[in-house]
Chains A and B, each alone.
Chain A
Amino acid sequence: MLKKSVLALPIALAVIGMAYAAPGQKPEETLDELIKKSPNPGYLTQSPQNIMMLPDNPAWDVVEAGEKLFKEARGPKNVSLEKCDFGKGPGVLAGAHTELPRYFADAGKVMDLDSRLVYCMKTLQGFTNDDAAIKQKHGSDSDIMKLQTYIASKSNGYAWNPPMNHPLEKAMRDAGEVMFYRRAGTMDFNCAACHSQSEKRIRASVLPNVYDPLDWSKAISWPAQRTSHDHVRSSQHRVLECLWQMRYPNIKNGSDASIALISFWTDAARGQPAVLPDLKR
């Protein structure tokens, strides 16, 4: 297991005291901060290779491609995404992802990063569901993943802080909590079966504990490069993977069911800094 002091101390010192915003902090510094704070770092430190590789995360190439796409005039309306409001005002990306899902009055819905991005690509740029730009949801070569990875990278080091002011934000979070404990499927699984204790493992994989915000902050830090997939993956994709193991049927990307789960899981990491983009096994 890695010692808690692997990463440069001076950098770690520089970020102390920045509870809600850490502009310029690198994902490896944020992870180091989580590891140092954790009394049970088994999940956070389980892959020394990934910790070592984090500064050279292949996801940075995807971030770069995403930034280009974001600023490029595209779609039938030939405009960029720079006027898209991710919750903190048009064009404001810093700390926007760590405050999602949230309620958007223009759409009348609680949206996660994925669905908000799609909303802007439709309303601002004029894309439709049939366009490849929106249709292809997964893989580092998809527009959606390039854009999400770029947008989320602007929230590294920011504390998860999904708003709970609108009644729908609360309703979705609370329903997501019920879903987290709702047992179903061939194996009777709920999410809690695998994610409610520290340092539990499925085979060799150490599982993050939803009750430990330090674990959980990294756990929900998506997009992340999945080394075993050789692709950047989204929160929506992680939901899908766990539901697959649970023997549940397919969940629809951007459905309220998926957003309710993501609302609950983001709330569970409240106050801890996001590692974006992350690198996972």
Chain B
Amino acid sequence: MFKKTPVAASLVAAASLLLITGGCSATNTGKTAEAKPAAAVPAKVDYTKMTPAALAEYLVLESDGFDLKQPTQEGTTGRHRLTQDEIQKACSLGKGKEVDDKTREKVMALAAASIKYPEGGIKLGDWKKGRELAWSGYGFRTAHNPDDHVKGTPGGNCYNCHQLATDRTGGNIGPALTGYGARGTSPDMLKYTYDVIYNPHVYFACTNMPRMGAVGVLNQQQIADIMAYLLDPNSPVNKQ
């Protein structure tokens, strides 16, 4: 899928530099800590000599702060989840920062390259199945309470962020999609909707909407079912 770039080169440089000076204590200053078994003690790193970005990267991926070995449902590890791919890195914009034109183009191109279409073309599936998928926020959660994909099917989380049909309360991180079917089911509309669910960065670079097709949360059939829920005239999304 997306190429995972390892920890920023600058950090590696900073960390290795610090490793040379270190080796005596687990604390993050020059203070001497209580004696501890040497093997368990990482080399000393001086946080105050690192840029905020380098320190953040160190804290996330090198400091033993997260369980990097924790297994994930897709068969990788916590480290893989926390290592940023190109889109994640380009879109980690700080306070008040907007994506610039060059980054936008790059992100859109990466997103376009990620999208795979069904062999027989884009068709609508079963809106009833789509309704359940749109509602469900199950799946891929790990941390202290990992989801078991044998017991539950991962969902699309759509209601977390969108109002869809009016029989359930949706969030408003994304725009309301109530009555979405009024836009029709032209080939362009089908492609647009498929693309947005598969990888929304192709239209909305650095959007907060997840790339649920591209990262394998939803398969092509499930996307077709959710599309039916959005576009089928009989779906509750399109009935008052």
Contact = CB atoms under 8 A, between A and B. Distances in A.
B120 interface: no
A211 B95 CA distance: 9
A189 B186 CA distance: 32
A181 B143 CA distance: 19
Nearest to A171: B47
Given A108-B27, A200-B171, A249-B143, A257 B160 contact: no
B172 A171 contact: no
Contacts of A175: 47, 50, 52, 55-56, 59
Nearest to B74: A186
B5 interface: no
A95 B50 CA distance: 31
B68 A172 contact: no
Given A171-B47, A187-B210, A193-B208, A255 B65 contact: yes
A127 to B, nearest CB: 14
A97 B63 CA distance: 26
Interface stretch (B13-21, B83-91, B222-230): B83-91
B171 A202 contact: yes
Contacts of A243: 143
Contact of A248 (B27, B50, B88, B142): B142
A112 to B, nearest CB: 13
Contact of A185 (B48, B64, B82, B93): B82
Most chain A CB within 10 A, of B27, B84, B92, is at B92
A4 interface: no
A256 interface: yes
A109 interface: yes
B67 A256 contact: no
B60 A249 contact: no
Most chain A CB within 10 A, of B52, B79, B87, B94, is at B52
A249 B29 contact: no
A174 B143 CA distance: 24
A168 interface: yes
Interface string B31-43: 1010000000000
A94 interface: no
A173 B81 CA distance: 23
Contacts of A203: 159-160, 169-171
Contact of A260 (B56, B77, B89, B211): B56
B217 A178 contact: no
14 contacts: A107-B27, A107-B33, A108-B29, A171-B48, A174-B55, A175-B59, A184-B60, A184-B81, A184-B88, A185-B81, A203-B171, A252-B64, A256-B65, A260-B55
Interface of B: 25, 27-31, 33, 47-48, 50, 52-53, 55-56, 59-60, 63-68, 70, 72, 74, 77-79, 81-84, 87-89, 91-95, 140-145, 157, 159-161, 169-173, 208, 210-211, 215, 217
Interface of A: 105, 107-110, 167-168, 170-172, 174-179, 181-190, 193-194, 200-205, 211, 240, 243-245, 247-252, 255-258, 260
